[in-house]
């Protein structure tokens, strides 16, 4: 798509062609105090656009004349976003192509980018909120790939945390379509031969090697974003060992070595259920498969992430009303030390962590309180068994001597004891069943 042919595209009414005078008015002549971002395209300003008597806040992206991106990217974004409307895509309000200025005007996103919150501001984003953001992005990508309603699907080609914006309700919106490409839909194996473009760390290795761009290239980049959300680390993180600067390699090796726990951002460890974590990591890892055909579609990713969220919310609702913490000193503890090593898991007697975290059978000698509880519990069981044995001996004696009265008395005693024992066991089992259900859900 060239600039000349694109300049005559038919635009819907929602998208306005603005004059440079309107842009100057909106940005107070590009006042530096209104700058809210800088990127490969250029500088982004926060401005007020006037439409009749209506005024609204907008993000105004001005193409830098020295930018690597230019007219092609500008018109590509205009052409794509004027045809697409989705709750998880940043709406394009208008554009300006006046006096050699190329400017894009979007709806303003008050909470900025996901990248800012994960790496710059280090915002305390709870696990459930992170999951909802990921689901929003996945839905947006699924719409681009298959649900646009136009003849061709859209491959974003630059999925990354800085291109995921958050509105006033923290809903995720995909932005920056300057590198996007159109590709035939309903043909999963179809690819587009194109010059390799994207962002290092998110770039699909298969696309980088072959130049064949597919929707699965977006799936790969989204897998990187998933691990970025989980770990709080950048796609390329030089705080890691040199051979692990790439987040993908570090995360995948951690999973293979059964060290999933070291991937988790310390800010969310106390809010994440082990089974939810394990399933989330499985989805992320599958998105990064070296064979594009083995990667899931975005529709499949949406379904999987929604199930992870449902599981997390279900278990969270069960645990929190009783005052239990998902991970911490009460209830289920996160079974790892701060240095990533596995630690003893001080659970109640009826709770043993299973599944993804293995079964913890041995307790530290220093857990004297737990040991005392176990001994007391064992003594109680022994006494109960002894009493049952003594009662059964009375029956044997009565039978041997054929003393019916003694037999009836002993049977009555045994019956009473068994009834009491049954009621106690039923009560205990109900409690254990309730606790076990919560634990199984957690795992």
Inter-CA distances, 74 with 181, 315, 399, Å: 13, 46, 98
DSSP E strands in 99-163: the ranges are 101-107, 152-155
Cα 419 from chain centroid (whole Å): 50
Active-site residue, from 31, 98, 116, 158: 158
Task: Pick the closest to residue 72 from 141, 3, 20 (CA basis).
Answer: 3
Contact between 355 and 443 under an 8 Å Cβ cutoff? The reply is: yes
380 marked ligand binding residue: no
**CA 338/CA 342 separation, integer angstroms:** 9
User: What are the strands, taking DSSP E only, across 189-240?
Assistant: 192-193, 212-213
Buried b or exposed e, range 128-163, using 16+ CB within 10 angstroms: bbbbbbbbbbbbbbbbbbbebeeeebbbbbbbbbbb
* Pair of tokens at residue 409: 């008395």
Determine the Cα–Cα distance for residues 243 and 253; give it in Å rounded to an integer: 11
Could you give the C-alpha distances from 299 to 56, 135, 141, 290, 303, in angstroms and in order? Answer: 34, 10, 9, 19, 7
How far apart (Å, rounded) are the C-alpha atoms in residues 138 and 193? Answer: 24
CA distance 293 to 308: 23
Q: Which residues make beta-bridge pairs with 336? A: 342
Q: Are strands 16-17 and 92-98 parallel, antiparallel or unpaired?
A: parallel
Beta pairing, strands 42-51 & 54-63: antiparallel
- At 175 the three-state DSSP class reads coil
Q: How many CB atoms lie within 10 A of CB 27?
A: 22
Q: Give the N- to C-terminal CA distance of the chain in Å, as an integer.
A: 51
- For the chain, how big is the Rg over CA atoms in Å? 31
How do beta strands 42-51 and 35-38 pair? Answer: antiparallel
Joined together, the tokens standing for residue 431 give: 């409690």
8 Å CB contact between 95 and 103: yes
Q: Is 158 a catalytic residue?
A: yes
Residues annotated in the binding site for ATP, as ranges? 61
Q: Could you give the residue numbers annotated as active site?
A: 158
Residues annotated in the binding site, as ranges? 61
């Amino acid at each position: 798509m060239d600039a000349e042919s694109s300049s005559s595209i038919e635009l819907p009414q929602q998208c306005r062609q603005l004059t440079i005078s309107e842009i100057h008015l909106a940005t107070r002549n590009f006042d530096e105090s209104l700058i809210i971002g800088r990127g490969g395209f250029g500088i982004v300003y926060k401005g007020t656009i006037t439409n009749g008597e209506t005024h609204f806040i907008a993000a105004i992206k001005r193409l830098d004349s020295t930018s690597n991106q230019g007219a092609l990217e500008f018109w590509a974004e205009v052409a794509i976003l004027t045809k697409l409307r989705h709750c998880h895509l940043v709406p394009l309000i208008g554009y300006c192509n006046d006096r050699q200025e190329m400017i894009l005007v979007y709806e303003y996103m008050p909470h900025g980018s996901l990248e800012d919150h994960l790496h710059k501001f280090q915002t305390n984003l709870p696990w459930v909120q992170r999951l909802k953001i990921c689901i929003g992005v996945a839905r947006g990508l699924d719409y681009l790939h298959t649900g646009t309603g136009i003849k061709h699907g859209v491959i974003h080609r630059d999925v990354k945390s800085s291109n995921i914006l958050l509105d006033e309700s923290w809903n995720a919106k995909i932005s920056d379509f300057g590198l996007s490409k159109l590709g035939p839909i309903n043909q999963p194996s179809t690819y587009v031969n194109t010059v390799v473009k994207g962002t290092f760390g998110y770039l699909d290795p298969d696309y980088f090697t072959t130049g064949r761009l597919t929707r699965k290239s977006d799936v790969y980049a989204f897998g990187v974003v998933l691990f970025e959300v989980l770990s709080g680390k950048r796609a390329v993180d030089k705080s890691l060992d040199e051979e692990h600067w790439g987040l993908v390699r570090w995360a995948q090796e951690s999973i293979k070595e059964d060290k999933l726990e070291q991937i988790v951002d310390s800010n969310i460890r106390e809010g994440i259920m082990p089974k939810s974590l394990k399933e989330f990591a499985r989805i992320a890892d599958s998105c990064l498969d070296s064979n594009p055909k083995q990667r899931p579609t975005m529709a499949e990713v949406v379904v999987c992430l929604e199930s992870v969220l449902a599981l997390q919310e279900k278990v969270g609702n069960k645990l929190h009303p009783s005052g239990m913490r998902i991970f911490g000193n009460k209830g289920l503890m996160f079974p790892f030390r701060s240095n990533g090593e596995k630690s003893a898991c001080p659970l109640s007697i009826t709770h043993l962590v299973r599944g993804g975290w293995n079964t913890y059978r041995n307790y530290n000698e220093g857990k004297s309180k737990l040991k005392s509880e176990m001994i007391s519990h064992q003594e109680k069981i022994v006494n109960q068994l002894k009493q049952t044995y003594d009662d059964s001996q009375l029956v044997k004696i009565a039978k041997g001597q054929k003393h019916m009265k003694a037999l009836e008395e002993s049977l009555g005693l045994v019956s009473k004891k068994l009834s009491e024992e049954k009621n106690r066991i039923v009560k205990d089992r109900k409690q254990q069943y309730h606790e076990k259900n919560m634990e199984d859900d957690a795992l």
